[in-house]
Chains A and B, each alone.
Chain A
Amino acid sequence: MTLADARVPRILIADDEAPARSRLRDLLDDCRPEFPLVIVDEARNGREALEIAGREKVDIVLLDVRMPQMDGIEAARHLAGLPSPPGIIFTTAFDAYAIKAFEVNAIDYLLKPIRAERLLAALRKAVAASPSREALAAAANQPRRHLSVHERGRIHLVPVADILYLRAEQKYVTVRTVEREHLVEESLTRLEEEFGEAFVRVHRNCLVARAAIEGFERNAAESESGWAVVIRGTSERLAVSRRQQHVVKEFR
């Protein structure tokens, strides 16, 4: 790789419709004379886009909003957590909700059918700046289905449905699944706001998945309320704080 190549933006196309992907390829080819670029790969949904972005160096992702399995907005939120996050250009045919959310949060998007000139302008802009995690979180209309854990530059997805509990430690939040623990760089309060329905707060620093609660037992020694929650599938007990003692009653 020469020095010149290294500066050419590397672009990933993500769209679930084959014709839409080939149209973008054509348009990117049209942009090439004015804006040298490399097309890294094509993804058919948000998940594939994350896999590719974790594997290869990607500078800009052209991301369709409505895709199966993982939509564009969730994929963008995971991508934004990468050490060197790619620029993101959303594309959408017509999605009244997403368009409004993008406008409100000042996130750029392109309307399909896309014009070459608009694409070119967006590419130039995307190299300079990309939407912040906060703006993306505000634009999302549903909770994520995964949390992303970044390990050595790679994105590892933990399905929210597999999470047993979330526990805050100084700078990180520990995500516990049956198999293992992960660390994510998020705030417990934000996570509670996003996933509040599926989780219940048992302690100032701990959210437990409702589905993971086996029951409660008396545990006077370690818990200020005298109760501990029994986590399904593990031998772990988590203390219930005095303030959250009411959840014991509500659970029954």
Chain B
Amino acid sequence: MSSINQTGAGIRLPNFCNLGVMLRVLVIANLFVLAAAVMRSLQASELAGHFLVGAAAAEPVIIVSLTLLCAGRRLLHSLAYPAAVAAVVALELALAWGWGEVFGVMFPDQAPASYARQAFFVVFVTGVILAYFDLRARAQSPAIAQARIQALQARIRPHFLYNSINAVLSLIRSEPKRAERALEDLADLFRVLMADNRALNPLAREIDIARQYLAIEELRLGERLRVTWRIDRMPADALVPALLLQPLVENAVYHGVEPLVEGGEITIEVTGSDDRILIRLTNPFRAGADNHAGNRMALANIRERLQLHFDAEASLQSRAEGATYEVTLRLPLITTPR
């Protein structure tokens, strides 16, 4: 779903490398195999046998075609949509024919269905699956635009804006230099907030935005706000959804640090492995010190954006343990837009 800026078939064909897409294809195709088995079975006892034979005929085709579609997605996405659909159907037919020949040699006792019937089944299932993903993409693209608007509204709390302006005002007479710097930080932050946030951002940029935000908060909260960064081992060039980190940090300040007289510490840890990014944020937690409805709303917002970008491959978890509140984000590590 990160391919929203592409032209060609990219908008309407799914990203076949995505785990969620693969799972959906497998489930839909197998439901059709099951339906075919039900239609062929005269008695319930025959069903298992028919399904097994059907699955044996279909499964290799599905898996090999998913692998090929994933590998060839760039080529596919550069085509116009009708051409891309034709290419996918042709690939499926070829694979089904090839596997049908092999299947006939391996299991000579199984009477093969006529090739015309097989071809009909393949074209039908492929068509249904592509139509499903097309509809799904259409249903979700307004959601992406919506998510952008939401990002603007829910991202920065008005509370933060007015308090920051108030803090800058307090500095103008006594420390004009600091006031200037604070206004510059504020301007940078709002430039990001006003921008088109549908694209992916390098992780290092996200860290910068969070730092600028924290610089302004430090102005207001002084020693009450303590921040520890653990980002030495982060994959700085990895791409993540824009404005992913700042809202989480803002939550930590608003719900974790501000309600405490003595303030508290926020830790931000970012690590990467071969194919995943792990982001962990902790802040102080005191039951009843604050109402947490706003926090849940912000987390739900981020969860939704992660889902739009990565489907089932990303996750966000939060939990309160003792005096600490922890949010953990897991996302796939990508360095070039898919």
Residues of A within 8 A of B (CB): 16-20, 22-23, 26, 44-45, 66, 68-69, 93-95, 111-114
Tell yes or no: B193 within 8 A of A by CB. Answer: no
**Residue among A18, A19, A69, A93 with most chain B CB within 10 A:** A19
**How many angstroms from the CA of A209 to the CA of B258 in the assembled complex?**
30
Residues of B within 8 A of A (CB): 157-159, 161-163, 165-167, 169-171, 173-174, 219-222, 258-261, 289
- 8 Å CB contact of B166 from A16, A45, A95, A113: A113
Shortest CB distance B54–A (Å) = 59
Q: If A19-B219, A23-B169 touch, does A113 touch B162 (CB 8 Å cutoff)?
A: yes
Q: Chain B interface mostly helix, strand, loop or mixed?
A: helix
- A and B contact pairs by CB, cutoff 8 A, 23 listed: A17-B163, A17-B167, A17-B220, A17-B221, A18-B222, A19-B166, A19-B167, A19-B219, A23-B169, A23-B170, A44-B261, A45-B261, A68-B258, A68-B260, A93-B158, A94-B158, A94-B159, A112-B162, A112-B163, A112-B166, A113-B165, A113-B169, A114-B166
**How many angstroms from the CA of A33 to the CA of B260 in the assembled complex?**
37
**How many angstroms from the CA of A66 to the CA of B158 in the assembled complex?**
14
Shortest CB distance A162–B (Å) = 15
**How many angstroms from the CA of A111 to the CA of B162 in the assembled complex?**
9
Tell me which residues across on chain A come within 8 A of B219, comparing CB atoms. Answer: 19
**How many angstroms from the CA of A95 to the CA of B157 in the assembled complex?**
10
Tell me which residues across on chain A come within 8 A of B222, comparing CB atoms. Answer: 18
Q: Is the CB of B163 within 8 A of A93?
A: yes
**Residue among A17, A20, A45, A94 with most chain B CB within 10 A:** A17
Tell me which residues across on chain B come within 8 A of A26, comparing CB atoms. Answer: 170, 173
A19-B166, A93-B163 given; 11 more Cβ-contact pairs under 8 Å: A16-B258, A16-B261, A17-B221, A19-B167, A20-B167, A20-B220, A26-B170, A94-B159, A94-B161, A94-B162, A113-B165
Shortest CB distance B177–A (Å) = 15
